[in-house]
Amino acid sequence: MNQENNTDHPEDGIEVPYKQIALDTLRRMIQEFVTRDGSDWAEVGCTLEDKVAQVLQQLKNKQIKVVFDLKTQTANLVPCS
């Protein structure tokens, strides 16, 4: 297991391979992530599904990863270093 100890991303956790997460759960996680700041993607001609697809592609391209934070018992999407 990898310990995350990057000062840009203070999660004290472990990387979870996204392929090991049920697709429905992963989609809900991504939806929560992209709507976190309250953005209205329709204003820029982008749907929620478009954003989910973009984030899923970033996971596939290893630009971001899923990290389970051991302190908060939550999962988050963070940039790969």
**Domain extents in the chain:** 13-79
What confidence score (pLDDT) does residue 42 get?
Answer: 65
pLDDT recorded at residue 65: 96
Chain center to CA of 33: 6
pTM of the shown model: 0.76
User: Into which CATH architecture does domain 13-79 fall?
Assistant: Orthogonal Bundle (1.10)
Q: How far is CA 12 from CA 5, 22, 40, 49, 57, in A?
A: 6, 23, 31, 30, 25
Reported as type and span, the H/E element at residue 64 is strand 64-69
pLDDT tens, per residue, the chain with 81 residues: 444 444 454 547 899 999 999 999 999 999 999 888 776 666 677 888 999 999 999 999 999 999 999 999 999 999 997
If we measure between CA atoms, which residue out of 65, 69, 63 comes closest to residue 77? 65
**β-strand pairing of 64-69 with 13-16:** antiparallel
